[in-house]
Structure 1
Amino acid sequence: MDISGNTIFIPGATSGIGLALAQRLRARGNTVIIGGRRTELLRRLAAEHGFDTVSIDTADAESIRAAAAEVLRAHPDLNVVIAMAGIMRVEDWHHADGFLASAEEVVTTNLLGPIRLVAAFVEHLRTRPRATIVTVSSGLAFAPLKATPSYNASKAAIHMLSESLRLQLADTSVQVIELEPPSVRTALLPGQQDSEFAMPLDEFADEVISLFEAQPDAKEIQVENVKFLRYGEARGDYDQVVATLNAADPHGR
């Protein structure tokens, strides 16, 4: 992906990683449209940062279809979609009433959401000469945190979805890039913003932008902090990685 000159839609960019990347991508000369559910916050971000905005709930199929139509009407030159929106929940799987409703919400948002976003935009993106779909998985796609089973599973599915889409779309102009965050200081879970285990948000976002710039043909964007989780199985120390992860931060990403 080229780092400038794009028109980029980022649903889930009203806070956290999404907003940090949106700000940096706009500063690099891209037109950035951010999406989210909180309309008042969208208006404030538009006024403060100059973003175009669209209301979208990535857990709602009709909302995705309506938002996609709105974005494409206003921005027919759209060539990048970053499927940023996601939720993370602590779950207790000892009893069904401790996890089932949460698990369904996580899968709907984290897996069905990106699938529906791709469905809404892929035909348009195929008409663009330098198009990109950016999926967002996690270090937890490769090493599990015991407190968040559905989140781990949804992000592992996003990893394999990304691998598969890259193969299918290899005969088109659409590049598929998987962003793999480690634990980052955001409000994804209560207390994570202050976690010493988590990577500072600005540090993470700066490194991601640097990697996009340095590796325009990358398949995966991995900051250094995520490689401990990403490559445990390949290194042969997977069990140690899992033990260290769960001992270090029971609620980290």
Structure 2
Amino acid sequence: MNISGNTIFIPGSTSGIGLALALALRARGNKVIIGGRRTELLDRIAAEHPDIDTVEIDTADGASIEAAAKGVLARHPDLNVLVTMAGIMRIEDWRQPSSFLASAEETVTTNVLGPIRLIAAFVEHLRARPDATIVTVSSGLAFTPLKVTPSYNASKAAIHMLSESIRLQLAGTSVKVVELVPPAVRTSLLPGQEDSEFAMPLEEFVTEVVALLETQPDAKEIQVENVKFLRYGEARGDYDQVVAALNAHDPHGE
């Protein structure tokens, strides 16, 4: 995708990677619309950044996605980039069904159905634009599992294969599909992750992502260097060692 001159909607961007990326993209000459559930955060962002539009959206709710999409497209008919950023990550113990089932269902609803519904709400409009991009967000954990987050790992693996598949279907149209593959980043996605020495600093991550978008406009995946250890373990032939190393460093493991 081009690094500037876009109108970009990023649902799930009131904090963490989403907000940092939104601000970085706005600084590169893009119109940015931020979406989220928490109105107090949306109000604060709108007050601090008057040139950023905000919209209330719950990506776990299909009706909320439909309503938000109508509003965004009515206000921004030139929208040409959708970033399906929203996601949740939960620690689960699959030896105790009563403790993980609700979490697993919520994770799949938010992390898999959410992006599917978002793409469904915007793809027809995007196909009518001369140059458009859908950015999906998977994870290094789509390729190497973290023991304590089974549903998150599976949901991000699903997003990877969804991205691969819809890219094939949209080939020959004006819509590109780009998969952002983050490593662990210092955000509040999990308790303690903001201060984890094993997580990548947020500003460093976003700076590298923007640089990759600029220098690799035709990239199918945006991979910072820190994620390649997880991303290519199987291809390198050291998958078992990568799994062991990842889980040895996990502060939430047993």
TM-score normalized by the length of structure 1: 0.99
1:140 aligns to what SS in structure 2? Answer: helix
Which residue of the partner structure matches residue 212 of structure 1?
213
In structure 1, the residue matched to 2:152 is 151
The C-alpha deviation readout for 1:21-60, integer Å capped at 9, x for no partner, is 0000000000000000011210110111231000000000
What are the Cα deviations for residues 160-193 of structure 1, in whole angstroms up to 9, with x where unaligned?
0000010000021000000000000000000000
Give the structure 1 partner of residue 132 of structure 2. Answer: 131
**Cα distance in 1 between the residues matched to 2:96 and 2:148:** 14
Task: Give per-residue Cα distances to partners, 1:211-239, cap 9 Å, x unaligned.
Answer: 00000000000000000000000000000
Structure 2 partner of 1:34: 34
Instruction: Work out the CA distance in 1 between the residues paired with 2:122 and 2:173.
Output: 14
- Tell me whether 1:25 sits opposite 2:25 in the alignment: yes
Alignment of 1:101-250 (within 5 A): 101-250=102-251
Equivalence map 1:34-113=2 (5 Å): 34-50=34-50, 51-113=52-114
Q: What is the distance in 2 between the residues matched to 1:40 and 1:146?
A: 34
Distance 1:209 1:21 in 2: 8
Could you tell me how far apart the structure 1 residues matched to 2:71 and 2:247 are? 43
CA RMSD of aligned residues (A): 0.8
Following TM superposition, by how much is the alpha carbon of 1:251 offset from its aligned partner in structure 2, in angstroms? 4.1
Where 1:111 maps in the other structure, the secondary structure is helix
Q: Is the 8 A contact 1:147 1:250 kept in 2?
A: no
Percent identity at matched positions?
Answer: 80
Alignment correspondent of 1:9: 9
- May I ask how many residue pairs the two structures share in their alignment? 252
Per-residue CA distance 1:63-94 (angstroms, 9 max, x = gap): 00000000000000000000000000000000
CA distance in 2, matches of 1:2, 1:47: 28
SS at match of 1:99: helix
Counterparts of 2:102 and 2:250, CA distance in 1:
24
CA distance in 2, matches of 1:251, 1:131: 40
Q: Is residue 131–residue 174 contact of structure 1 (8 Å, CA) maintained in 2?
A: yes
Structure 1: segments with no counterpart, 5+ residues: none
The alignment partner of 2:171 has SS state of: helix
Q: CA deviation at 1:209?
A: 0.3
SS at match of 1:153: helix
Structure 2 regions of 5+ residues with no counterpart? none
Shift of 1:250: 3.9
Work out whether residues 181 and 226 of structure 1, in 8 Å CA contact, stay in contact via their aligned partners in 2. yes
